[in-house]
Chain A
């Protein structure tokens, strides 16, 4: 995929989660310098479930709290998440998962 045809916001976040495809996820991840592995997909799926449940994109703390209760403690820590999504797991995770940008990310 050379470019994304689905509508994006000014910062490259998908406007509608329904437009999301795994190809779009790979494309956005590549732009952010991230190669997606099974560990990434697990978090991406969790982010999408979070959004469908609460209709809001999680900031770091709620994401971590949610992952601890769903995937377990070892997959919810900030060190683990920062390794997968360097810089800001909540922000880049949301972007790749097709969620809007979390409110508190600057």
Chain B
């Protein structure tokens, strides 16, 4: 676990805590994040709880004829959004690890997530 002495401070902190296809929240959050990224905001995204499923690789929506959440999420680095965090305890609970993800995310403790929220100027939850 990392120490809490050097917690980054973000102007805009997105928290993604919902699965990608169960509701429209996953997609709405992503669109909001990409829009913010296009405006070059000092921002980060925390994937936690069920939101961790958004990063699960090998999402295939061809048969379902739906928008592919993985494809659009893969655009985050292109939009300049590189600060991606994943809740470590949530990974363990879901038997996920970083090799299951298609994007690089930094695992963080619950305490660090709490501190990132406290330090953030604005928090947007999806």
Contact = CB atoms under 8 A, between A and B. Distances in A.
Interface in B41-91: 67-68, 71-72, 74-75, 78-80
B74 A102 contact: no
A104 B68 contact: no
Main secondary structure of the interface of B (DSSP, over half): loop
A65 B67 CA distance: 23
B71 A61 contact: no
A34 interface: no
Contacts of B39: 104
Contacts, number: 44
Given A54-B72, A103-B31, A60 B38 contact: yes
Given A65-B80, A103-B31, A56 B38 contact: no
Interface string A45-88: 00000000111101111100110000000000000000000000
Chain A residues touching B, range: 10 to 19
A65 B80 CA distance: 9
B40 A56 contact: no
Residue of B38, B39, B40, B71 with most chain A CB atoms under a 10 A cut-off: B38
Interface of A: 53-56, 58-62, 65-66, 102-104
Interface of B: 31, 34-35, 37-40, 67-68, 71-72, 74-75, 78-80
